[in-house]
Amino acid sequence: MPWRTGPRDRAAGVRPDPYRVWLSEVMLQQTTVAAVKSYFLAFTERWPTVTALAAARDEDVMAAWAGLGYYARARNLLKCARVVAQDYGGQFPQDHATLLTLPGVGRYTAAAVSAIAFDDPQVVVDGNVERVMARLHDEHTPLPQAKPVLTGYAAALTPVARPGDYAQAVMDLGATICTPKRPACGLCPWRAPCAAWAAGTMAELPKKAPKKRKPTRHGIAYLARRVDGAWLLERRPDKGLLGGMLGWPGSDWSDDPAEAPPIRAEWRELGEEARHTFTHFHLRLTVKTALVPMERTPDRGDFIEAPDFSPSDLPTVMRKAFDLAQGSWSKVR
């Protein structure tokens, strides 16, 4: 993984760069390694230091984060970079309690940065560690109730020597061997002391509270293209779903959304809805398209010149609407 340093680096006395550790940990929050890799490389290439990131324009960072999800992370990432640049002289604070005060840095990330970047033996507990501890101790109390107990188990194992390597090793164990389904116990270095292995309960741990089912909401997205090729887009407010991201103007998302065209035009409805699932609801998005003349002024949103817009700047749900419209327009042609 591009954010890891190797044994040769450390033998030469090289410590991991706190900026890269922090950036990777924020990207990895609730997100898979496979999804993070290309984003991490793009960010570090474009903004090699926290000072460089702090100087970036908001819209550039949001566009670079587009597709990775949980966009509050990107807003907090920028806030945090600016705090580090302005209040800490561009150097990440090494103190765990101070790290915890930074925007977007919670218990997990503060502990991970402390251990990995600063060799400070803080207790790193993520979903992997919870699963490994639940199995190691055959803990049947469901999450999130079991969290304090599992954290206690993790604390008892955290070593003073090489806490960063230890934390990453346990997370790697959880990610590759002690997996949620069908754990590879035959390969596990901790099989002998594992209480769940002894009891045969490893596949059913950790227990979790049952999930609530997701309701389905509906919405309308309006994709207007000006005759010169410019696109009508809108910056979403910082708070709430997809906060700070670019999107197509649209209706609210509800049981029965009202029409909300952002500009006077002959709107054509596509035959297919864009479907997307968020954390807590399913969305079926009706897509309407229109071609509008040069002189007409939108009620909402702004026209962005074609060369200044890339669909990769959009959150995935908005890109799905775009993709559907592309298909329909090419069919007409």
Q: Return the number of the residue (71 or 303) whose C-beta is nearest DNA.
A: 71
- Distance of alpha carbon 131 from alpha carbon 282, whole angstroms: 28
* Cβ contacts of 165 within 8 Å, gap of 6 or more: none
What's the min distance (Å) between Cβ of 58 and DNA?
15
Terminus-to-terminus CA distance in the chain, angstroms? 45
- Distance of alpha carbon 232 from alpha carbon 251, whole angstroms: 15
Q: Return the number of the residue (216 or 305) whose C-beta is nearest DNA.
A: 216
What's the min distance (Å) between Cβ of 299 and DNA?
24
Q: Is 145 helix (H, G, I), strand (E, B) or coil?
A: coil
What's the min distance (Å) between Cβ of 213 and DNA?
6
Q: Is the peptide bond before 261 cis (omega within 30 degrees of 0)?
A: no
Length of the chain, in residues: 333
Q: Is the dihedral of CA 136, 142, 143, 147 positive or negative?
A: negative
Q: How many helices (H) and strands (E) does the chain have?
A: 13, 7
45 in catalytic set: no
- Distance of alpha carbon 39 from alpha carbon 288, whole angstroms: 31
Residue tagged active-site, from 25, 130, 139, 273: 25
What's the min distance (Å) between Cβ of 228 and DNA?
28
Q: Return the number of the residue (142 or 267) whose C-beta is nearest DNA.
A: 142
Interface residues with DNA (CB under 7 A) are: 1, 24-25, 28-35, 66-72, 76, 103-110, 112, 126-128, 131, 144-145, 147, 168, 171-172, 174-175, 180-181, 208-209, 211-214, 240-243, 276-280, 315-317
Q: Catalytic residue positions? A: 25
